Amino acid sequence: MKALKFGGTSVANAQNIKLVLNIVLHQAKQDKLVVVVSALSKVTDLLQLAATKAAAKDESYKEIVAEIEKKHLDTLKELIPVSQQSSLLSHIKRIINHLETLLDGCFLLGELSRRTSDTILSFGELLSSYIIAEALKQNLKNSSYKDSRELIKTNSNFGKAAVNFELTNQNITEFFASDDSQVVVMPGFIASTLDGITTTLGRGGSDYTAAIIAGALHASDLEIWTDVNGMYTANPKIVKQARPIASISYQEAMELSHFGAKVLFPPTIQPVLRKNIPIHIKNTFEPEAIGTCISNNVFHHTNPVKGISHIDNITLITLEGSGMIGVSGSSKRLFEVLSQENINVIFITQASSEHSICIGILNTDADLAENAINKAFEIEILQNKIDSCIVEKNLCIAALVGENMKNHQGLSGKMFSTLGKNNVNIRAIAQGASERNISVVINERDVKKALNSLHERFFEDNTKQLNLFVMGVGNVGEKFIEQINQQKKFLKDNLKINLRVIALSNSRKMHFDEDGIDLKSWQSALENSEEANKELFIEKVKKLNLRNSIFVDITANETVSRTYEHYLRENVAVVTCNKIACSSAYDNYKNLKNLSRKFNAPFLFETNVGAGLPIIDTVKNLVASGDKVNKIQAVLSGSLNFIFNNFDERSSFHDVVKEAGVQGFTEPDPKIDLSGIDVARKILILIRESGYQMEIEEIENKSFLPAACMDTSNNEDFFKSLIEHKSHFEGILAEAKEKDSRLKFVAQFENGKASVDLQFIPKDHPFYNLEGKDNIVLFYTDRYVDQPLLIKGAGAGAAVTASGIFADVIRIGNV
């Protein structure tokens, strides 16, 4: 004998019920079956809504009844041949009329008692079980229907009635002993008191009905057929990477379901546990999937953590005060009050000082609990021995569950560090003495991030998901996206990094996709998206609250650089090739670095100096290892280097600058390069990263541009001025020739002073042979005294800059 239970989605409509019938008919060939069914999907919610509306004198309950009626009539019509429909349709209509009469009563009285509510809610299962039993009869003559209320007897705790097992087991065994149908269909969720008043077993309680029957009949198996492939390592609706757990113990399953794994109604395990009846959780829509087996024969798994679950809508109530210390009975009184008010306590912690006790309950019980507790401790509160209780609503409990966790050290440490790294604030912690469960209370807004990062840490082979929010998709940005697209698989396979681009924005448009933008068609997605807005961009990043979020700035825009602070404060890392922030006022630079540390959000800007060359990282390592940078000499402008390497008698200065722009070696505004500002910013960043405090104004900038060129206010005028002052540039070139030297724009730092200027570099100098758009930096430090540490290579260009940004992103992934 087997007991099978089909949930709301499994019986949502005629099409799904046909799948259910297939499963039942197939199994009925081998076994006698009891088939327990839920109400059609959402019907119990609709009944609840109709009842509440009726009691609130809102006539729209009638529309809900009409909707419920239509749903059931439509389903029946599709399952039963027309010739046999009429009596069945009238039966359904009679049931609906009865329902409507009850709701009319609520409407007239303006009241809804718990007892009436249970009667109203029972209609969902009564209707569904009737239809399914009739549909089954069409295919299997030897099948019948039994109303669970005649067998399952409870007390009168309406809404969540407690089962009288002695009587219930006796009723069930007696009935089945005399029934010889191959399949008996029964409604789940509903039962009755000894006087025959309808009760319910609690929302989601159909699982329990099936377990009660299975337990009473010593069934060989209990099968819970639902809409997912078993009990998952986390709620699959919230954690996309969650996967079904093949085998799990009763205790673990109980713990997961108590802590929110809705796939199994928590009391379901009790009736089958003692009799050792295995529970199989199966998917109606994928019957061939193996699902989850809950039993005592669990094969040992290397991972001590079996699953992660969570409960929403939690309120923490803290009672504290000196009056609690050493006074026996405070906790007893607290729990007594809660029990009198029928409030279920989900979570308890008490500090060892006994100074405070903290409990977690459902939000819906919060006001009641607060009033009751404050009343119970009224005298102590008046005497200032205890404070009025502190109530914090809208929290959530997340729990790690696993039988074997007690034999492993460091799991809680891992759990807390994972949450900490993701800036998830833990409000309270509890670990059961059984060590089967470690639970934390966190803010509701952090739930998704917390569950996903815990899942990643404990179940995903250390694969780390990085979520990128990219602003700026010009030359460099485009290359960056191309590189991600190309390397995605490699990173996943080799570095265990799962890189996703969640948002892209240019100056006109912005596009978000929480599941990751398809990088093959990002251009059209961006084109067809909403208008760009930097503030809204920040809000959206905040709201998504994804783990390992990285804001990537590939613009040269000052306004964008002013937004970093907001990201860092939200624990969103910032990777940027935009130099403005790091070369702005020292206080601002320092503030960003401090925020990065405080909020555990990396702030990386390797591409600020030397594009993809590892210059900043090298300085960081020198400083971190205790070295001291005493002198820096560098050619840091790939653009100026390109320009002066190509400027000769055959080409005009103007044409060379134009060409550098075309090839993407200059800033969008070339004056920023030619005026030396760009180089000044770069050396400033190196100086700051070396540990010195300096402002941009302190860097001496001896510009080689005539004042008239400097004074232009747009690109067009600037280029015109280069033509007008042709002879000035030719003069510089002639002087270099005469001195048998080459022109290099050099940045220097020594003895606390810095300068940038165009220099005539003689043949024997390491800068003389600097080709194309290369950069070179010489660091003279305490350790590199005579021979400087030298870094040289391509210092400009879209591809190398993009790969430098890429490297920063990977650095974050490897932390």
Q: Applying CB under 6 A, which residues contact ligand ASP? A: 7-8, 38-39, 44, 124, 188-189, 203-206
- 38 touching ligand ADP, by CB under 6 A: yes
Q: Which is nearer to Mg ion, 203 or 492 (CB)?
A: 203
Residue 658 is a catalytic residue: no
Sheet of 497-505: strand order equals 530-531, 509-512, 497-505, 464-471, 549-553, 573-576, 603-604
Select from 70, 237, 590, 783 the one that contacts ligand ADP (CB under 6 A): 237
CA distance 435 to 641: 65
CA distance 430 to 438: 6
Query: What single DSSP character describes residue 425?
Result: P
- 11 touching ligand ADP, by CB under 6 A: no
Q: Which is nearer to ligand ADP, 231 or 319 (CB)?
A: 231
CA distance 212 to 216: 6
- 228 touching ligand ADP, by CB under 6 A: yes
- 360 touching ligand ADP, by CB under 6 A: no
Point out the residue whose Cβ comes nearest to ligand ADP. 7
CB of 544 to ligand ADP, least distance (A): 21
**Interface of this chain with ligand ADP, residues 261 to 300, rule: CB under 6 A:** 261-263
Contact 148, 191 (CB under 8 A): yes
Query: Residue 261: which of Mg ion, ligand ASP, ligand ADP, none does it interact with, CB under 5 to 8 A by kind?
Result: ligand ADP
Query: Residue 618: which of ligand ADP, ligand ASP, Mg ion, none does it interact with, CB under 5 to 8 A by kind?
Result: none
Query: Residue 235: which of ligand ASP, Mg ion, ligand ADP, none does it interact with, CB under 5 to 8 A by kind?
Result: ligand ADP
- 204 touching Mg ion, by CB under 5 A: yes
Catalytic residue among 282, 464, 671, 682: 682
Q: Is 775 helix (H, G, I), strand (E, B) or coil?
A: strand
CB of 313 to ligand ADP, least distance (A): 15
**Interface of this chain with ligand ADP, residues 304 to 323, rule: CB under 6 A:** 307, 309
Burial 691-704 (b: 16+ CB within 10 A, else e): eeebebeebebeeb
Query: What single DSSP character describes residue 491?
Result: I
CB half-sphere exposure, 771, CA atoms < 13 A: 2
- 143 touching ligand ADP, by CB under 6 A: no
Task: Residue 677: count other Cβ atoms within 10 Å of its Cβ.
Answer: 20
Contact 167, 193 (CB under 8 A): no
Angstrom CA distances, 139 to 73, 79, 125, 183, 223, stand at 20, 11, 21, 11, 21
- 610 touching ligand ADP, by CB under 6 A: no
Residues 162, 167, 168, CA angle at the centre, nearest 5°? Answer: 65
Pick the stretch among 99-107, 229-237, 397-405, 774-782 that binds ligand ADP (CB under 6 A): 229-237
CB of 467 to ligand ASP, least distance (A): 35
Q: Which x/- pattern over 203-222 shows residues binding ligand ADP (rule: CB under 6 A)? A: -x------------------
- 227 touching ligand ADP, by CB under 6 A: yes
CB of 204 to Mg ion, least distance (A): 4
Select from 145, 176, 208, 232 the one that contacts ligand ADP (CB under 6 A): 232
Q: Which is nearer to ligand ADP, 206 or 583 (CB)?
A: 206
Q: Which is nearer to ligand ADP, 128 or 235 (CB)?
A: 235
**The residue to which tokens 């990751």 are assigned:** 516
Q: What are the backbone angles phi and psi of residue 531, rounded to the nearest 5°? A: -70, 140
DSSP structure string for 283-332: ETT-TTS--EEEES-PPPPS-S--EEEEEEEEEEEEEE-GGGTT-TTHHH
Residues 6+ apart with CB under 8 A from 175: 146, 150, 151
Query: Residue 39: which of ligand ASP, Mg ion, ligand ADP, none does it interact with, CB under 5 to 8 A by kind?
Result: ligand ASP
Q: Which is nearer to ligand ASP, 17 or 592 (CB)?
A: 17
- 23 touching ligand ADP, by CB under 6 A: no
Query: Which residues does residue 430 pair with via DSSP β-bridges, in sequence order?
Result: 439
Query: Residue 106: which of ligand ADP, Mg ion, ligand ASP, none does it interact with, CB under 5 to 8 A by kind?
Result: none
Q: Is 748 helix (H, G, I), strand (E, B) or coil?
A: strand
Contact 556, 580 (CB under 8 A): yes
- Residues near Mg ion, by CB under 5 A: 7, 204
- Residues near ligand ADP, by CB under 6 A: 7-10, 38, 204, 226-228, 231-232, 234-237, 261-263, 307, 309
Catalytic annotation, residues: 682
